[in-house]
Chains A and B, each alone.
Chain A
Amino acid sequence: MIEVERLRKSYGSFVAVDDVSFTVQPGKIFGLLGPNGAGKSTAIGCISGLLQPTEGRVRVNGYDVVKEGKAAKQGLGVVPQELSLYEDVSATENLLFWGAAYGMRGSELKGRTHDVLTYTGLLDRAEEPVKNYSGGMKRRINFGCAIMHRPKVLLLDEPTVGVDPQSRVRLFEMVKEQVAHGTSVLYTTHYMQEAELLCDELAIFDHGKLIADGTLEDLRGMVGEKDILRLAGNFDAEKARAALTPLPDVQVVTAESDRIRLSVADASRRLPELFEAITRAGGEVRETTLSQPSLETLFLKLTGKELRR
C-alpha cells in the first residue's frame, strides 16, 4: 500500500510535484497519466526514497519512506524509467545482484533467479551479457530485477517505452500477475490506452498537479457522454468560437488559428448544424475528426493538451 499525502517537491523555485495526495490499495493498479515533464518520475523518486520530498509525507506499507527508509524500501520494487542494468554481465548476474541488494541469499536467491528468468521469458538467453539483448528483452529483465524480492509495492515508471507489442503484452501480464498476489502497483505512462487497459484507478497529472483522479468509471463519468469533435478549415478560430458557443450543448475546448475542438453530445447528428454556423460566420470546414468519449477526451478537456498515443 502506498499513501502519498500532500507531497511537494521543488527544485529551487520550480515546483515539479505540487501538493499531490493519493493512495494505492493492495492488489490495485494506480495509473499516473501525464505528458512529458508532468512530474511523474519525480513523484516516483519521492516514493522510492531517491528524492527527498520538500513537503508532505509518503508511506509504503505503513512505513514512512524518510524516517523508516530501510523498512519502507524492503517492501518496495522499482522499475526505473531508464534501464538500470549492468549491460556487461548476464541476466542471471543482474538478477542475483539485485536480489542480494534486497537481502536475498543462498538457495532462495538462486531459485528465485531461475523463476524470474522463466517468468520473463529469458531463460534460454540467461547467460548472455545483457548488452546483446533487444530493447524489449532489456525492459523485461529491468522489470525482473525489481520483483526478485517479491515486493508488496511496485513502482513502474513508463515500463513499456520502446517495446514491441509482444513484449508489451508480456509486461502487462507480469504486472497483472503481481497484482493478483496482492501487490500495489503505481504505474506511470503517457499512453492513454495502457492506462485504460491496466489501471483500476487513475490520476491525471500535469504541471506537477493532480487534476483529476478516481476509478475508470469515475473518470468516464466526468467525460460525460459527449464526443470530441475537431474541425479544421478556412475560418478564423475566434469567429468560429463566437458562432458556435451559443449553440445548445456545445462546448468549445480549444480554438487556435484555423482549428477548433468542441465537446458535443451526439456529435454525428449535429454536424450539419455546426457546419452551418461556421459557414454563417464566413468560414468553411475542410476536415472533421470525431472521437468517442474516452480518457483521452477527458485529458484534453482538463488540460487542453493531447496525450501522445
Chain B
Amino acid sequence: MTTSFVGHAFRKDLSRAFMDRAALALYLGVPLIIGLMILLLMGGERHKPVAHLLIADEDNTTVSGLFKTLLRSEQVSDFVRMEETDRAAGRETIDDGEASALLVIPEGFQGAVLRESQAQLELVTNPAETIKPKILTVSMEVLADVVFYLHRILGEEIRKIAENVDGDEAPSDEAIAEISVGINQVMRKVGKYIFPPAIVVEAVTDEKDPTGGVPMTQLMLPGIIFMGLLLMAQGLGSDVWTEKTTGALSRMVSAPNTMAALLLGKILADAVLVFAVSCVLLTVGMLFLDIPLARLPIALAWTTLSGVTFVLMFMWIFVHARTRRAGMVVTNGLVYPLMMLGGSFFPVEVMPAWMGTVGRVTPNGWSLERLKDILIARTDATTLLASTAVLLTVALVIFLHTAARMGGPFARR
C-alpha cells in the first residue's frame, strides 16, 4: 500500500462525489427540510402556529351563533383566527392556500345539537398545511365535547331553547342573553378541564416531561443529523457497485497495489463528505437551538466517525449483495426502520419503553445517544474515548472484511 496511491484514490473519489451534485443536495437537503418541518411542528414559543379558520354558517341559528362565540373564546382564539365567509368563497380561499381550513356549519345544525343527535360539521383543510388543520380538528373535537358537557350541565336550559326554537318564533333577546350568560359562566368553569387536555395533544413536552428538562427540539437535532448520515451512508456505500460495474475493481486486482489502499482512499473521501454535511447540519442546528458552539468540534468528530462507520456497514452489505438492486432493497429495508428505531423520527425519550430499549442498541441509535450527550454536555472524556474506541474497532473490522471481499469475489464480474 503506497500513500501516494491512497492519496490518488482519495482525490478520485472526492472529485467523483463533487460531480454528483444531486446526491450531495439530497444528503444535505433532506435533513435540513425535515429539521425545518420539525421546528415548525414543535415550534416552541417562538413561532406558535395560528390557524386561519374560515366559517361558512349555513345554519344561521342561535346555536350556530353560540358555536362561533365559543370559537372566539379566549382558550380557542390562542390558536385560531376566525373569519366568516360563505361556502363558495371559502373553498376558493382554501384552494388558493390562503387559509388553514374552512368550517361549514350546515343547515339543521342547531336542531341536531339540541337534540343531541349527530351534529355534522364539515371541515375542509388546506392540504399544504399539516399542523394548523390538525389544531383545528382537535379544536372541533373539543367543541364536540363541549356540546356533550353542555347537555350534561345545562340540560334544563337547552331543552328550554329547544322548545323555544321548535316553535316558529325566534327566542326573545332576554332568553338568549340569559342563556348566553349562563353558558359563559359554565364555560369558564369547565373550560379549564376541557381545554388543557386538548392543548396537551400539541405540546406533549410541556406536560409529563420524559425528557429530563431538555427541550424537545434539542433532542430532535441529533436524530435529524443521523437521518442525514444514514441516507448518506447508504448512497456512498452503494458506490462500490459503480466501481465494480465500471470494471475498475477487476482492473485493480491485476495491479500491484492492494484493494485495501483503494478502499482507504475511498473511505477518506467519504469522511470528508460526511464531515462537510454534518458540519453544515450541526452548525445550523446548534445556532438555531442556542447550543454553545464550543461543543461543535467534538460533536463533528463524533458524527464524522459515526458516519464513516455507517458507510462501511452499508458497503459491507453492498459487496455481499448479488446485484446493486438487491443491495438497494436490503439497505432500504434497513435505513427506514433504523431511522425510526434509532430516534430520527422522534427521540427515544418519548418512545414506548420496549422501542426505546431496541432503539438505543441500533448502531445509529447508540451513536445518536452519544451525540446527544455531547450536545447537551452531559458526558465526560473517558466515556467519549471508550465510545470512540468501540466505533473505531467496529469500523476497522468491517473495513478489513470489505476490502478482502472487494479484492476477491466482488471484483470478478
The 8 Å CB contact of A78, one of B16, B251, B411, is B251
The reply to whether the CB of B257 lies closer than 8 angstroms to some CB of chain A is yes
Q: How far is the CB of A253 from chain B (nearest CB, A)?
A: 37
A87 to chain B, nearest CB (A): 7
A80 on the B face (CB < 8 A): yes
**1/0 per residue A17-58: CB within 8 Å of B?**
000000000000000000000000000010011110000000
> Chain A CB within 10 Å — which of B11, B20, B254 has the most?
B254
- List the A side residues contacting B247 at CB < 8 Å: 80, 82-85
Interface string of A65-94 (1 = CB under 8 A from B): 000001001101010101111111100010
Confirm or deny: B2 has a beta carbon within 8 angstroms of a beta carbon on chain A: yes
Cα–Cα, bound, A85→B20 (Å) = 16
Closest to B251 in A: A84
Q: Are B16 and A89 in contact (CB under 8 A)?
A: yes
Which residue in chain B gives the minimum CB-CB distance to A130? B246
Q: Is B253 close to A, CB under 8 A?
A: yes
Contact A93 to B257, CB < 8 A, known contacts A84-B247, A109-B4, A129-B19:
no
Among A51, A85, A88, the most chain B Cβ lie within 10 Å of the Cβ of: A88
Assess the B5–A93 pair: CB atoms within 8 A.
Answer: no
Q: Are B2 and A86 in contact (CB under 8 A)?
A: no
Most chain A C-beta atoms within 10 Å of own C-beta, residue among B4, B247, B252, B256: B256
Instruction: Say if the beta carbon of B412 comes within 8 Å of chain A.
Output: yes
Q: Say yes or no for A172: interface residue by CB 8 A criterion.
A: no
A87 and B246 form a contact (CB under 8 A): yes
Nearest-CB residue, chain A, relative to B257: A101
Let me know if B254 and A100 touch, CB within 8 A: no
Tell me the smallest distance from the CB of B263 to a CB of chain A, in Å: 13
Residues of A near B248 (CB, < 8 A) are: 84-86
A191 at the interface (CB under 8 A from B): no
- Are the CB atoms of A89 and B255 closer together than 8 Å? no
Please measure, in the bound complex, the distance between the C-alpha atom of A86 and the C-alpha atom of B248, giving whole angstroms: 7
Q: How far is the CA of A109 from the CA of B11 in the complex (A)?
A: 15
Give Cα A82 to B7, complex, Å.
Answer: 26
Q: Does B250 contact A (CB under 8 A)?
A: yes
Main secondary structure of the interface of B (DSSP, over half): helix
B103 nearest CB across to chain A (Å):
55
Complex CA–CA separation, A45 to B16 (angstroms):
28
Q: Which residues of A contact B115 (CB under 8 A)?
A: none
Contact B2 A50 (CB under 8 A): no
Within the complex, which residue of B11, B20, B256 is in contact with A102, where a contact is CB–CB below 8 Å?
B256
Chain A residues with CB under 8 Å of B262's CB are 101
The answer on a CB contact under 8 Å between B5 and A86 is no
Q: Is the CB of B224 closer than 8 A to any CB of chain A?
A: no
Q: Does B9 contact A (CB under 8 A)?
A: yes
- Is A97 interfacial (CB 8 A cutoff)? yes
**Given the complex, which residues of B lie within 8 Å of A248, measured CB to CB?**
none
Residue of A nearest to B258 (CB): A70
A254 and B15 alpha carbons, distance in the complex (Å): 57
Does A246 have its Cβ within 8 Å of any Cβ on chain B?
Answer: no
**CA separation between A106 and B2, bound complex, in Å?**
12
Out of B246, B250, B255, B412, which one reaches A101, CB within 8 Å? B255
Contact among B8, B20, B254 with A73 in the assembled complex (CB-CB below 8 Å): B254
Contact assessment for B254 and A50 in the assembled complex, using a CB-CB cutoff below 8 Å: yes
Asked whether, in the complex, the Cβ of B250 is within 8 Å of the Cβ of A100, the reply is: no
CB-based contact A93/B256 at 8 Å: no
Which one of B2, B9, B12, B254 contacts A49 once the chains associate, using CB atoms below 8 Å? Answer: B254
B window 354-413: CB within 8 A of A: 411-412
Known contacts A89-B12, A89-B16, A96-B8; is-contact A103 B256 (Cβ 8 Å): yes
Residues in chain A near residue B250, CB distance under 8 A: 50, 80, 84
Contact A105 B2 (CB under 8 A): yes
Interface string of A250-269 (1 = CB under 8 A from B): 00000000000000000000
When chains A and B are docked, how far (Å) is the Cα of A109 from the Cα of B257?
Answer: 15
- Identity of the chain B residue whose Cβ is nearest the Cβ of A44 in the assembled complex: B254
Within 209-245 of A, Cβ neighbours of B (below 8 Å) are at none
* Residue pair A86, B246 in contact (C-beta under 8 Å): yes
A99: nearest residue on chain B (CB-CB)?
B8
Residues of the B chain whose Cβ atoms lie less than 8 Å from the Cβ of A101: 5, 8, 252, 255-257, 262
Cβ-defined contact, A97 with B251, below 8 A: no
Q: Are A100 and B246 in contact (CB under 8 A)?
A: no
The residue among B5, B246, B247 with the most chain A CB atoms within 10 A of its own CB is B5
Q: A125 to B58, alpha carbons, bound, how many Å? A: 73
* A187 at the binding interface (Cβ < 8 Å): no
Q: Is the CB of B253 within 8 A of A70?
A: no
How distant is A96 from chain B, measured CB to nearest CB, in Å?
Answer: 5
Q: How distant is B264 from chain A, measured CB to nearest CB, in Å?
A: 13
Closest to B18 in A: A88
Query: Within 8 Å CB of B246, what residues of A?
Result: 83-87
- Which of chain B's residues have a CB closer than 8 A to the CB of A87? 246
**CA of A102 to CA of B252 in the docked complex: distance in angstroms?**
9
CB–CB B15/A73 < 8 A = no
Contact in complex: A48, B9 (CB < 8 Å) = no
Using A84-B248, A88-B20, A97-B12 as known contacts, say yes or no to A106 and B254 having CB atoms under 8 A apart: no
CB-CB under 8 A from B8, the residues of chain A are: 96-97, 99-101
13 intermolecular pairs with C-beta atoms under 8 Å apart = A73-B256, A84-B246, A84-B250, A85-B246, A86-B246, A87-B246, A89-B15, A93-B12, A97-B9, A100-B9, A101-B257, A103-B257, A109-B4
Query: Can you name 10 extra interface pairs (CB under 8 A) apart from A93-B11, A102-B255?
Result: A49-B254, A73-B255, A85-B248, A89-B12, A96-B12, A100-B8, A101-B8, A101-B257, A104-B4, A129-B19
Residue numbers of A with Cβ under 8 A of B are 45, 48-51, 70, 73-74, 76, 78, 80, 82-89, 93, 96-106, 109, 129, 145
